[in-house]
Structures are given as C-alpha cells and as structure tokens.
Structure 1
Amino acid sequence: MMLPTHAFTGLVLALPVALAMPEVGTAALVAGFLGGVFPDFDMYVGHRKTLHYPVYFSTLAVAVATLALLLPTAATVAAAVFLLAAAVHSVTDVFGGGLELRPWEGTSDRGVYDHYRERWIAPYRWVRYDGAPEDLLLSVTLAVPLLYTLEGSLQWLVVASLAVAVVYTAVRRLLPRIAETLFNRDVVSKLPNPALAYVPTRYREE
C-alpha cells in the first residue's frame, strides 16, 4: 500500500489514545504518523525487508503498550503507538501486491520478509498494488475521521497527504516506464557499486 495509506493508518490508531489522554495526544498522533511511514524508509535499501518486521514490531508493540498502561507518560505512550503503527504497516503490506516493477501483473512471490522465520511472505493482493484505486479508497476512508477530528497543522498534514495519494494514484501506472528510462541497462552498468546498491532490485532485474 502507498505511504499516505500507512500514514493515515498510524494516525487512526493513535486517535483513540489522543482522545482518551489529551495530555499526550499530540505525542501519540505524531508517533502514529511516524510509525506508519517508518518501515518504508527502506524503499531503496532492501524494500520490505530492511525495516519491515511483522513479528518483531508486533511483539515489541505489545510489550511497550503494557508498559505504557502501567506507566502512562508521553514517552511510553508515544513509543507504544509508534511500534504499533510500524507493526501494522509491516503486517498489512502482506495484503498488498508484490515487489515487482509492475505489481498489477502479479509475478512476484515477495510480499514482506519475515525475519523470525527467515523467509518471504507471499503477497495476498487484496489491494492489488500500491496506488491502486482501492488503495486510494482506503486512504480516503481513513482520512475522513482524521479530517473531522484533527485541527491545525495535523489536519493540514492529512490534507497534504491525501493530495499526494490522489496524485500518486493518477500516475502510478506510468512510473515503471519512467523507471525503465532512468535505470536502463546502459545507465545501471555505469553506476559505481556504492550507488548501485541504492537502485531497487526490481529496476535492475527489469
């Protein structure tokens, strides 16, 4: 799923905490947003493997959430929400498409890497690919309660993220063609090894 969808998921997870504990509300919401997008920081370095931990994030989230219940401070609540959002991101990517250049073709058996079992989890493709119409629908659905509830800069963050989601969905199927132009074999073959390490595998394979 696309980044705005994950960001909105993290915010929605944090929303009940913010409403129940307004004294730590901002910390929880910011942590939810950051936790929702954090796993995708591995986009160009082992995507869905380097920072995606469906088992370990989930285990840590339960442990830290227990601590936050016993010792509810801004730090413990924010840490719990961050880990929960990162865990949900890592797990829900399994329900999207694979890692191929054109995920709507359904040719990849790699959804998310499970470090605990040391194997790739195959994609379910309930959301066919990141930026699919159903992905945008999910983003909009998640954004509605956020737009209704949040105020100020956080509300504008949701508006900006929703705009990104709409634009990304509109151009998503054009991106492989652009990638092929930017990362054609001649260009890739001339890249130094340190730079080549940051070119996603799907671009090199294609």
Structure 2
Amino acid sequence: MMATTHALFGVVLATATATVAPEFAPVAFVAGVVGSVFPDFDLYAGHRRTLHYPVYYAVAALPAVALAVVAPVAETVALALFLAGAAAHSLMDVLGGGLELRPWQAESERAVFDHYRGRWVAPRRWIRYDGAPEDLLVAGVFAAPALAVWTGPEQTFVAAVLVASAVYALARKPLAMLAERLVPRVPPTLRSRLPERFRDAGETVPTVRRGD
C-alpha cells in the first residue's frame, strides 16, 4: 500500500480516539500518523523487514492500549496510537503486492517478513500494488471521516495527503518505467544504496521463444 494510505489510517485511529477523548486529539493525530508510517522508514535498509513486525507490534500494542485506557495521559495515548499504527501498517502490507518494481506482475512472494516465525509472508494481493486504483479507493475511504471531523491544519493535512495519493496512483506505472531507464545509468557504488527493487531495474529477462 502507499505510504499515504498508511498515514490516513493513522488519522482514522486518531479520529476514533478524539471522538472518545477529545482532549487528546492533537497528540493522537501526531502519534497515529507517525506510527502508521514508521515501518516504511526501512525503505533503504531491508524494506519490509527491518522495521516491519506484523506480530511483535501487535503484541506490544495490546498492553499499551490497555494502559492508555486505565491511565489516559498524553504519553500513554501517544504510545498506544504509535504501536497500533505500526502494527496495522505491518499487517496491511500483507494484503498488498510483493517486493518488486512492478508488483502488478505478481512475481514476488515476499510481502512482509515475520520475525516471529523467521520467514516471509506471501502477499495476498487484495490490493494488487501500491498506487493501484483500489489502493487510492481505500485512501479515500480512510480520509472521508477525517475530512468531516477535523478542521484547521489537520483537515488541510488530510486533504493534501489524499491529493498526493491520487498523483502517485496516476504516476505509479510510468515511474517504474522511468526507474528501469535511469537506474542502470547510476554508478554501481550509488546503486547499491537504492532500495532492493530498484537495484534490479533495467535487467533484461531472456525471452523464451517457441521451439527453443
């Protein structure tokens, strides 16, 4: 899924929290969004493995949420929203495509690494790839209640993220084609620093002809 879709899910968590405890709305908004995008900070260092923990985030989130309910202060609410957002992110990525430059081709069987079981979880492909039309639809569904509930900077943020989602969805496939052209021209020392799916961009796959 798009990072923006994850961010908007964090807003959903914040909206639910603000409905119950409006005094924590600002901290819930920040913690929900930051936690929901945090796992993608591993983009350049073992993407969907280094900071993605589909089991451990969820296990940590349960007592954190309980603590926030029993002792609702800014710190406990922020911790609960952060962990809940990170857990949701790691689990939601399983519903998308695999780790490849062109995930719509459905060639990769790696969605998220499960550290508890020590193996990659296969993609479900309910959302075929990040930036797919259905991904944008989910982003819109997440944004709708927030646009109705929040005002001021928060509402502006949600609208901007939704617009960015639409732009990325339109550009997703052209960007993959552009990467395939540009990455082979990047010096090898710099190419090694790119995300894994970009490092293989431009490699030609032998064509199998009938009769060969």
Match of 1:191 among 184, 188, 193: 188
Residues in 2 aligned to 1:156 and 1:36: alpha-carbon distance in whole angstroms: 18
Structure 1: stretches of 5+ with no match in the other structure: none
Residues in 1 aligned to 2:110 and 2:60: alpha-carbon distance in whole angstroms: 24
For each residue in 1:98-117, what CA deviation from the matched residue of structure 2 results, as whole angstroms up to 9, or x when unmatched?
A: 01110000000000011111
- Determine what percentage of the aligned residue pairs are the same residue: 51
SS at match of 1:18: helix
Amino acid at match of 2:40: D
> How far 1:196 moved relative to its partner?
4.2
- Superposed, 1:28-177 pairs within 5 Å as 28-177=28-177
Q: How many residues align?
A: 201
Residues in 1 aligned to 2:60 and 2:163: alpha-carbon distance in whole angstroms: 33
Amino acid at match of 1:171: A
Q: Which has the greater radius of gyration?
A: 2
> How far 1:3 moved relative to its partner?
1.1
> How far 1:198 moved relative to its partner?
2.4
For each residue in 1:56-110, what CA deviation from the matched residue of structure 2 results, as whole angstroms up to 9, or x when unmatched?
A: 1101111211111221101101110110011000001000000111000000000
Residues in 1 aligned to 2:162 and 2:194: alpha-carbon distance in whole angstroms: 27
Amino acid at match of 2:76: T
Q: Indicate conservation of the 8 Å contact 1:97/1:129, yes or no.
A: yes
> How far 1:191 moved relative to its partner?
3.1
SS at match of 1:120: strand
Q: Indicate conservation of the 8 Å contact 1:48/1:113, yes or no.
A: yes
> How far 1:197 moved relative to its partner?
4.2
Residues in 2 aligned to 1:64 and 1:183: alpha-carbon distance in whole angstroms: 43
Greater fraction helix = 1
Q: Indicate conservation of the 8 Å contact 2:4/2:165, yes or no.
A: yes
**Divergent runs of 4+, >3 A:** none
Q: Indicate conservation of the 8 Å contact 1:45/1:197, yes or no.
A: no
For each residue in 1:107-140, what CA deviation from the matched residue of structure 2 results, as whole angstroms up to 9, or x when unmatched?
A: 0000001111111000000000000000101111
Residues in 2 aligned to 1:168 and 1:203: alpha-carbon distance in whole angstroms: 17
Amino acid at match of 2:200: E
> Which stretch of the first structure deviates more once superposed, 18-27 or 161-170?
18-27
Residues in 2 aligned to 1:93 and 1:80: alpha-carbon distance in whole angstroms: 20
Kindly report the root-mean-square deviation, in angstroms, between the aligned alpha carbons of the 2 structures. Answer: 1.2
SS at match of 1:134: helix
Q: Indicate conservation of the 8 Å contact 1:2/1:135, yes or no.
A: yes
Structure 2: stretches of 5+ with no match in the other structure: 202-212
